[in-house]
Amino acid sequence: MISTPAIEMRGIGKRFPGVAALNDVSLVCHAGEVHALVGENGAGKSTLIKVLSGVYQPDDGEIVVDGSAARFRHPVDALHAGISVIYQEFSLLPERTVAQNIFLGRELARNGMLRQAAMRAETRRVLDMFGAGKRIDPDALVVDLDVASQQMVEIAKAIALNAKVLVMDEPTAALNEAECRKLFETVDALRAHGTAVIYITHRMREVTRLANRVTVLKDGEIAARFETVPQPAAIVRAMVGRDIADFYAPFAQPDELGATILAVRGGGNAALRDINFELRAGEILGFAGIQGAGRVALGMAIFGALPFETGAMTLAGESVRFMHPRQAIRAGIGLLPGDRKGEGLALMQSVRDNGMLTSRALGSLAASHKRNRFADLGRMDALLDRMEVKAASYEQEIRLLSGGNQQKAILARWLSLEPRVLIFVEPTRGIDVNAKARIYHLMRDLARAGAGIIMISSDLPEVIGAADRILVMREGAIVAEHGRGASETAIMLDATGEKEAAA
Amino acid sequence: MSDATVGQVPATRPRFHFDRWAPALLLMAAVAIYVAACVMTGQTQYLNWSNLLAVVGRSIALGITAIGQTFVILVASIDLSVASLISATAVLASVIMNGAPTMIVPAVAAALALGVTVGLVNGLIITRLDVNPLIATLGVSLVIQGCLSAFVSNFAGSVPPEFQFFAYGNLAGIPFAILFFFALAIAAFLVLRFTRFGSNIYAVGGNQDAAHFAGISTRKVIVITHVICSLCATLAGLYLASRLRSGAPWIGANGVYDLESIAVVVIGGTVLAGGRGGIWGTVAGVMIFSLIDSIFNVLGVDAFVKQVLRGAIIVAAVALYAARSRRIVG
């Protein structure tokens, strides 16, 4: 196809203090094609999109729209140029109606008074364009819509803006199988309509189903470019940049699995029902499921943060009931939260202080480091050294570290307590490939040392690669169990509860 | 679920939003308790039209201030300088008028100019210097109060009888001040509900980043809401000068208009985090406050006990909203 690209990014470079986030990245997308942008977390996809949408200013390179160079100083400049981005975290206002959201910032008005009927009619027209008009009422509050419908509203917002280029950032992350198919049809319709779609994902079946071309980003650089969609294996190799074989730690050998260390019988609360499972010492147990399936709620219930209201739990054979994380920690249970910045770190404090956070909370105030291992700084430093935490000094504020090093510092916090059960929630979210591999191997080391590991992750390949056994959750219950090396498709079918979609 | 159902099942689950109706329910409860208290203590003479007007009339200054406060809280800001500004405008207007009817217009103009200035200062400190609104407006409040106290220590100037119409006059048998309050509330409602500016206020309070990315000038919106808030405080100051027939530097602080205006806005269901709430909730909040006072008066509750109960009621009301609107995440 010889035509002017709808959008072209040429030699984009972006540096943040201490890191080169993007280096000489070029990307072309024509009208009426879907260009898949794939890469690991932290590969630079989000940064690239933020440059394209005017959130960040590039340090090098240029953006060309319809053949002429453009400079976006503000997201609105990009919107005016016809570039709309649908981020993973929706930019919708939950307390406003669908119509109010679609016309956010560009409300139709006459003499300063809103033309509500006109906006409502236009909203309905746009929703009808992809068959969502019957489902979604323009006057409904966004907070009352399910996630898939909220996404439809985001797409409708972009279409109402006459976007020529639509960027979708992992749009299926929160969708079930039927909703995914609906979304794919919408993408097909957009393509037929002449929109240039840049589609970000790390799921190979979406690339195969949708893309015309593929670009792979890795560590802020273009790792590969495919003018036609290749075999998934070729894409994965370019994405990971190393052999899958030693990326994940080996699975547990039968003789490494010990006695049952944690068992839950009939556990339930507002978010969970009839939870039954056992975790053995030396085992990594993965929990898969879509967002809101109750995996995180289960972790929180075991940890005593959102306690079980019914059922029983035993830890190393003893019956336990944790109503507060403090009790769970004392009994030897640790939890690495998924939202590192929000729940895991005291950002303004030093690496060492963050490592000592739990120890100090549990030690007595008068504890001397000579008598109390909870207050032993030397031991913490040795742990941080062993985990290869890269920091200028352990007195450095932890917010200045990379995500991978922050995660290792949190892990050190728990290791210093020698936990019997450690719960990892999204252990590798937002960290680079090598740090990921390090975390997987550390998990395995811990398991070999006799701990039971619970791994809760939305990154399905990682659960399959790292866990010895996988439990699938849906709507607050455990619905299936898979052994090591199960297929992604089989797990997704259980997670979404749609057997008939197997074909 | 099959494809066919995806297309037709409405995605909206119609829900009863308790927190949206709570202020109205609380108001009805307060009215019922008031009536019950009057009947039980045999003071049915209080159950008439003129006493109803008196109940509402007692809270005009608080109500006007709270309407302004609603705007800033909706954009997730706050204004602690209203009490000092009320004192300052009352004194300023009273001194400029000094009993002369011809000076009413210059005095009102000067007061409004003061309001715009304070609002701009508050808004610009918050948006340009990135100072937390709590600290910014507290600082401005101290500055105003300090300047004022340097010049006057008690009632200064006087208000001509013509201007006392604001507080004491009647139109069609209804006190002018009450009509003024409701007119202001209706105007505020129309702005919030039917104008682009109102829509921008909810957007900025709901999600400042989303508003920014949608091309809304978030700083401008925040500054304008602060100007509106300060102008409302100015009107409240003018009303108090008219009612007290003069202005004194302690009337704002005495009425605790800063904290009470925030309390009634919150009781009215507007969330401090911004983006949700509205004027009618605030009006209900003002009435609830007023009724609580009346109930205590009817029951003859001791003044200090009254204070304790008022504090407890504020906390209980807000805790009730929080408990009912909590959503399970995970």
How many alpha carbons fall within 13 Å on the CB side of residue A200? 24
CA distance B160 to B131: 41
**Chain A: nearest CA to B286, how far in angstroms?**
24
3-state DSSP assignment of residue B58: coil
Partners of residue A135 in chain B, C-beta under 8 Å: 7-11
Residue B7 has pLDDT above 50, yes or no: no
Q: For residue A360, what are the contacts with CB-CB under 8 A and spacing of at least 6?
A: A374, A375
Residues in chain B: 330
Partners of residue A107 in chain B, C-beta under 8 Å: 196, 199
List, as ranges, residues 140-169 from A with C-beta within 8 Å of B: 140, 144-146, 148-149
Give Rg (Cα) of chain B.
Answer: 21
The tens digit of pLDDT for each residue in A233-285 reads 788 778 776 655 677 888 888 888 889 999 999 999 988 999 999 999 999 99
**Chain B: nearest CA to A54, how far in angstroms?**
9
Structure-derived torsion over alpha carbons of residues A341, A346, A352, A355, reported in degrees to the nearest 10? -70
Read off the pLDDT band of A19 (50, 70, 90).
low
Max Cα distance, chain A (Å): 78
pLDDT for the residue A502 = 42
ipTM comes to: 0.73
Q: Which residue among B7, B203, B207 places its CB closest to the CB of A134?
A: B7
The tens digit of pLDDT for each residue in B114-159 reads 999 999 999 999 999 999 999 999 999 999 999 998 988 888 888 9
- DSSP class of residue A276 equals E
The tens digit of pLDDT for each residue in A296-343 reads 999 999 999 999 999 999 999 899 999 999 889 888 898 988 777 777
Cα–Cα separations (whole angstroms), residue B131 to A194, A311, A347, B77, B135:
47, 50, 21, 11, 7
CA distance A381 to A362: 19
How many other CB atoms sit within 10 Å of the CB of residue A42? Answer: 24
The tens digit of pLDDT for each residue in B71-93 reads 999 999 999 999 999 999 999 99
Q: Which of A208, A207, A212, A180 is nearest to A195 (CA)?
A: A212
Whether A112 sits inside 8 A of B210 (CB atoms) is no
Q: Which of A51, A104, A46, A102 is nearest to A78 (CA)?
A: A51
pLDDT for the residue A264 = 94
In chain B, which residue's Cα lies nearest the Cα of A128?
A: B7
3-state DSSP assignment of residue A198: strand
pLDDT for the residue A370 = 52
* Burial (Cβ within 10 Å: 0-12, 13-18, ≥19) of residue B196: middle
The residues facing A83 across adjacent strands are A165
User: Chain-wide mean pLDDT for chain A?
Assistant: 84
**Chain A: nearest CA to B209, how far in angstroms?**
8
The tens digit of pLDDT for each residue in A158-185 reads 888 888 899 998 887 767 777 788 888 8
The residues facing A166 across adjacent strands are A84, A197
Q: For residue A270, what are the contacts with CB-CB under 8 A and spacing of at least 6?
A: A309, B328
- DSSP class of residue A374 equals G
DSSP string, B213-282: HTT--HHHHHHHHHHHHHHHHHHHHHHHHHHHSSB-TTHHHHTTHHHHHHHHHHHTT--TTSS---HHHH
DSSP string, A51-106: HHTTSS--SEEEEEETTEEE--SSHHHHHHTTEEEE-SS----TTSBHHHHHTTTS
A294 touches chain B (CB under 8 A): yes
The tens digit of pLDDT for each residue in B30-65 reads 888 888 888 888 888 778 888 888 888 889 999 999
How many other CB atoms sit within 10 Å of the CB of residue B44? Answer: 10
**By the 8 A CB rule, do B146 and B88 touch?**
no
Read off the pLDDT band of A116 (50, 70, 90).
confident
Residue B12 has pLDDT above 70, yes or no: no
B316 touches chain A (CB under 8 A): no
CA distance A55 to A167: 14
**Chain A: nearest CA to B216, how far in angstroms?**
5
Query: Which secondary-structure segment (H or E) carries A167?
Result: strand A165-169
pLDDT for the residue A485 = 79
The tens digit of pLDDT for each residue in A418-439 reads 889 999 998 887 776 677 888 8
Name the pTM for this structure.
Answer: 0.74
A423 touches chain B (CB under 8 A): no
Query: Which secondary-structure segment (H or E) carries A478?
Result: strand A477-483
Q: Which of A292, A85, A86 is nearest to A174 (CA)?
A: A292
* Burial (Cβ within 10 Å: 0-12, 13-18, ≥19) of residue B304: exposed
Query: Across residues B93-118, what is the average pLDDT?
Result: 94
The tens digit of pLDDT for each residue in B156-204 reads 888 999 999 998 988 888 899 999 999 999 999 999 998 989 999 999 9
Whether A145 sits inside 8 A of B12 (CB atoms) is yes
Whether A105 sits inside 8 A of B14 (CB atoms) is no
Q: Return the residue matching tokens 């959130």.
A: A55
3-state DSSP assignment of residue A406: helix
A112 touches chain B (CB under 8 A): yes
Q: Which of B329, B250, B207, B205 is nearest to B91 (CA)?
A: B250
